[in-house]
Amino acid sequence: MKTDADLQQDVNDDLNWDAAIDASHLSVSVHAGIATISGHVKYYVEKLEAERVAESVAGVKAAIVHIEVKPPVTPHDADIAAAAAGALAAMARVLVDSIDIDVKSGWITLAGSVLWDYQRQQAEDAMRSLPGLRGLTNDIRIVPAALPASTIKASIETALKRHFDSERQAITVRVTDAVVTLSGTVTSWYERHLARKSAWNAPGVHRVEDDLVVGP
């Protein structure tokens, strides 16, 4: 079993290995399997990638990211807002008119409502590479069509059967007022992501509560 020192070295090595990140101003500490990354990067996408890298290292239970984004250029908020609106307009199947954009000191806040989580996620993804972006808050609400809890639960459980080995699958699904709660154990962060995606893809889901534990 890896020690905290082993995990710290692995996360550091992976950050420096990843060509999408300039890790020269990042530092890593690990306590009880939880990795904390501090420092600064030039681009918001580097911050996201650093978090993904830390979570992907075997043995890391969770990642805490204290990374500041210091862009090499600092456009006006109005310019960032215009670029954000253009990025949304270019996205397929996102209801642009239902999404509001607010920019303050390089930080974008998205608000409004959509029918599906994938639309909410697509809107966020469209923002991530904008020049000058320092941070992003996605306050877009999911307002799905109303469906019985039993129908939502059955569709999610069917999806999980398609994606997981039935003999090893240890995920419990509960649905209350269109809120899905996933609990149980998965073997990797990838499986956790796959279970969340399976839940979000079900019609009628308003929110997904992830109580899954990554373990052996």
Q: What is the CATH number of the domain that holds 172?
A: 3.30.1340.30
Beta bridge partners of 172: 183
Q: What is the pTM of this model?
A: 0.72
CB-CB contact of 10 with 2 (8 Å): yes
Check residue 94 and give its pLDDT.
Answer: 61
Tally the domains of the chain.
Answer: 3
Q: What is the pLDDT of residue 95?
A: 66
Do 13 and 57 fall into the same domain? yes
Q: What is the total residue count of the chain?
A: 216
d(CA 210, CA 188): 14
pLDDT the model gives residue 165: 76
Please give the Cα distance from 5 to 151 (Å, whole number): 47
Please list the residues that pair with 107 across neighbouring strands.
104, 135
88 shares a domain with 62: no
Q: Give yes or no: residues 160 and 135 share one domain.
A: no
> What is the per-residue pLDDT for 20?
94
Q: What is the pLDDT of residue 43?
A: 95
The domain boundary residue, chosen from 121, 142, 163: 142
Which one of 69, 104, 121 terminates a domain? 69
Give pLDDT, residue 163.
86
> Cβ(179)–Cβ(150) under 8 Å?
no
Contacts of 202 (CB under 8 A, 6+ apart): 152, 155, 156, 159, 180
Token readout for 186 is 């998965």
What is the predicted pLDDT for the residue at 37? 97
3-state secondary structure of 58: coil
DSSP H stretches of helix in the chain: 4-17, 44-56, 77-89, 117-127, 149-163, 189-200
Domain finish residue from 91, 125, 142 = 142
Per-residue pLDDT of the chain (216 residues; tens, 9 = 90+): 889 999 999 999 999 999 999 999 999 999 999 999 999 999 999 999 999 999 899 899 889 999 999 999 889 999 999 999 999 888 766 666 789 999 999 999 999 998 888 889 999 999 999 999 999 999 999 888 889 999 999 999 999 999 887 666 789 999 999 999 999 988 888 889 999 999 999 999 999 999 998 876
